[in-house]
Amino acid sequence: MYAQMVDTGANKVRGLEEMSAQERAFQERIDAGIKIEPKDWMPEAYRKTLIRQISQHAHSEIVGMLPEGNWISRAPSLKRKAILLAKVQDEAGHGLYLYSAAETLGVSRDQLVDELHAGRAKYSSIFNYPTLTWADIGTIGWLVDGAAIMNQIPLCRCSFGPYSRAMIRVCKEESFHQRQGYDLLISLCRDGTAEQKAMAQDALNRWWWPALMMFGPSDAESVHSAQSQAWRIKIFSNDELRQRFVDQTVPQAEYLGLTIPDPDLKWNAERGHYDFGAIDWDEFYNVLKGNGPCNRERLRARRQAWEDGAWVRDAAIAHAEKRAARTAQAA
Ligand code: BYC
């Protein structure tokens, strides 16, 4: 496994012979499928890579609540409102497991949140697009949660114990999220009116390419993939997961009677996969630089929520301090 990984991706990975004895023993544990736990020795770069990826993932969950939260008050029925509320609440829970997993690596949640609010930490590009209609809610569940599951199921087997265990629960919930999105689209496309189906097609037209971008840059451009795969922080490459997602999603679009907005999409019998058109990487990097349609709005909303919640944090700390003082007095 390790030997196959050394030459893939844009970055290079050191061979076992170039490592210190401690690093070699660490790599051999990973190659043997043994989980790394927070108190184990680990190379500083492994720790930093995990903090980067897990915190970006946590931020994505929290920022990801915003586009969907936007529709809670406008859901078309009590049932749909209850489902959407539960889903958005789940995303908050995912953020919390992930911040906790990152904290086991010696960083505090306050530090991570500061990085996000200062605009220095990334979160998934997908959440910088607006949710214009109710069909966007179904499409996010279908495509965005579908892409998230494709990326995250392998992470249940990643090398870092707390991250892999958090992912097991997250994936169970994400699969419910994907199903609810697809169910919503079935209502619009198969049982709905022509206008409702057109609304679903419009949502697919806007979300398809950003969903493909969620998997990150192509393998040739991915900065971290080779090292992360060697460390089993990533199990599959960005392009491998993107291809799996396309292969899984095309028949689902056909069942809904929707057209994927890609004239180059076609089944390639020789490869046993769908070929698809070129991704607009300029758009992707532009969103990463902070220039997507909603980047500023998302950060503004997160900072505001943090400020509005200050009194809750202060009250919780005051309560904890009072209890600790009382316990000390009684002892
Ligand atoms: N958006 O070398 P690469 C979800 C960055 S949402 C923004 O390939 P890596 C959900 C990348 O960080 C999904 N940035 O990086 C929530 C790096 O920049 P830095 C969240 C991106 O880390 C609510 C640079 O581009 N899922 O779950 O090896 C509702 C070069 O990329 C993106 C996760 O976070 C992007 N799309 O691979 C519904 C899963 N792509 O850090 C759903 C865990 C790349 O050097 N994360 N970049 O400044 C991963 O699997 C990996 O971090 C990625 C990127 C595949 C995303």
List, for residues 164-207, the tens digit of each pLDDT value: 999 999 999 999 999 999 999 999 999 999 999 999 999 999 99
Closest residue by CA, ligand 1 atom 39: 57
Q: Is 216 in the pocket of ligand 1 (CB under 6 A)?
A: yes
Map residue 273 onto helix, strand or coil.
Answer: strand
In whole angstroms, what is the distance from residue 219 CA to residue 57 CA? 20
b/e code 227-238 from CB counts within 10 Å (16+ = b): bbbbbbbbbbbb
Domain ranges of the chain: 16-292
Q: Is 57 in the pocket of ligand 1 (CB under 6 A)?
A: yes
Share of the chain above pLDDT 90, in %: 94
Closest residue by CA, ligand 1 atom 16: 61
What pLDDT digit, counting tens, does each position of 80-110 carry? 999 999 999 999 999 999 999 999 999 999 9
In whole angstroms, what is the distance from residue 262 CA to residue 215 CA? 18
The per-residue pLDDT for 11 is: 56
Q: Give the distance (Å) from ligand 1 centre to CA of residue 274.
A: 23
The per-residue pLDDT for 15 is: 83
For 168-220, give the DSSP string.
HHHHHHHHHHHHHHHHHHHHHHTSS-HHHHHHHHHHHHHHHHHHHHTT-S-TT
Provide CATH code, domain 16-292. 1.20.1260.10
pTM for the model: 0.93
Q: Quickly count: other Cβ atoms within 10 Å of residue 107's Cβ.
A: 18
The per-residue pLDDT for 5 is: 36
Q: Is 146 in the pocket of ligand 1 (CB under 6 A)?
A: no
Share of the chain above pLDDT 70, in %: 96
In whole angstroms, what is the distance from residue 288 CA to residue 60 CA? 13
What pLDDT digit, counting tens, does each position of 53-65 carry? 999 999 999 999 9
Question: Using 50, 70 and 90 to split pLDDT, how confident is the model at 17?
Answer: confident
The full length of the chain comes to 331
Answer for the pair 58, 112: CB distance below 8 angstroms, yes or no: yes
What is the rounded average pLDDT for all residues in the chain?
94
What pLDDT digit, counting tens, does each position of 245-288 carry? 999 999 999 999 999 999 999 999 999 999 999 999 999 999 99
Helices 109-117 and 44-63: crossing angle in degrees, nearest 10, is 60
